[in-house]
Chains A and B, each alone.
Chain A
């Protein structure tokens, strides 16, 4: 066995088998449905903006993170980067890319569409491209994403998106 710091599938101490991708791949196949759910959830969160401000965004952060982490980890293998771009990337989480690419597939994608680093994992961006084509806002995949802000790791992307949307509405 090759000794590596980054543990690809089947070399991880917590053995991850092919089936571990099943739910992630299901999410991509149902990206259009999940997009609708996401939009509904986003508008619900925005409606609750007065509640969040009354309670204090910092105080609700912890319980929201606990829920968000479990839901997104189950559906997308979320890594809690704190700046979710799932709706722009066809419901395939780019943080699962071993190179943390947030803007598209690298040149190393294998001819069978699998990852260069993890030979048995379908390329996260290949999946993202498939998922985005079923979505209404599928063109968002063409947007150049900003460099990731590592200081936001572990915080709630839902609450951040809500407070930003609320700010934008106030500006209008």
Chain B
């Protein structure tokens, strides 16, 4: 069991280790050679912070980072900056996704500084889905930068301490930079080279699209290993459970960039309990990906089945006994509850200022 220094302290930033570019736990876990697991938080369509805390709590103790999506699939939800602000407050380690679809370079750089100030250590640079895929196709697509120039821009902010304009930053953002890969979309022979370009532009880790086709992934990884890319960048492969054959078919036709072979859909179709079978397929994928050369971790996307992530990670055994950071139960929680009850009992009795001072100094 590997323990990382300062891991139980939610409020204190971790020390910046030599050769690390962020103070984040995800970078520490990956650089220590552990198999990292990340998951995706389903962003709420509400303004209630508790929705975020509840949705984050299901991953507690099972993942090394929580992705805060930025309007995934071009659908509008709570912003990734907002989610990250809430998650960092309670000590979780978010991976902030930035999509180029909705912001221009001015907004993006401002968000990066704001996020870093809130304690966000990981940023994932995406181009984003086209607006036609989402709930508001009449929106104006921005696409001022692409994922590659976004990576370069943030790297320049971090390493050279200046904005794209050349203006100096007094404190650069200390972030671990990520990008996305999709080994399952054509042109297949260009995909490893695109990863090389992303690494050159600044990507330190990549998360892939859903993997349902291991031979295809193996072909991609062979090429990646030949080019030595797995030594320059941590590769996290995406997996996830499909709720049913119908859902899988819908995703295949309606969500851009997801490749699900017929064999998987047939297997789901033939199963008695399709949801259980979907989970089983996901666990098998996860175990086989764990053993693949050059893979550093997995990204579990269980859309609308987030409660399954803990079971999937546990049953697959990919963590091999390591326990990712868990929120320490607030020791004052009982006291707070008692104080609230006490307050209700004594409602109506004004507290003297001198008593309040005495109580505070106790």
A interface residues (Cβ-Cβ under 8 A, vs B) = 2-6, 8, 98-111, 113, 116-117, 123, 125-126, 129-130, 141-142, 144-148, 150
- B193-234 toward A: CB 8 Å interface, digit per residue (1/0)? 110110011000000010000000000000000000000000
B contact residues, total (Cβ < 8 Å):
43
Which residues of B from 130 to 173 have beta carbons under 8 Å from A? 130-133, 137-141, 143-149, 152-153, 164
**What residues on A are CB-neighbors of B44 within 8 Å?**
none
A97 to chain B, nearest CB (A): 9
Bound CA span A148–B146, Å? 9
Which residues of B from 240 to 293 have beta carbons under 8 Å from A? 256-257, 259
The reply to whether the CB of B313 lies closer than 8 angstroms to some CB of chain A is no
**What residues on B are CB-neighbors of A148 within 8 Å?**
144, 149
The 4 closest A-B pairs by CB, nearest first: A107-B182, A108-B256, A103-B148, A147-B149
Bound CA span A2–B209, Å? 27
B interface residues (Cβ-Cβ under 8 A, vs A) = 100-101, 105, 127-133, 137-141, 143-149, 152-153, 164, 180-182, 185-187, 189-190, 193-194, 196-197, 200-201, 209, 256-257, 259
Bound CA span A6–B133, Å? 12
Task: Using CB atoms, name the residue of chain A closest to B252.
Answer: A111
**B257:A116 contact, CB within 8 angstroms:** yes
**What residues on A are CB-neighbors of B139 within 8 Å?**
5
**A102:B137 contact, CB within 8 angstroms:** no
Bound CA span A105–B183, Å? 11
Task: Using CB atoms, name the residue of chain B closest to A101.
Answer: B146
Q: For the complex, would chain A's binding face be called helix, strand, loop or mixed by DSSP majority?
A: loop
A31 to chain B, nearest CB (A): 15
**A126:B186 contact, CB within 8 angstroms:** yes
Identify B133's interface contact among A3, A109, A116, CB under 8 A: A116
**B130:A146 contact, CB within 8 angstroms:** no
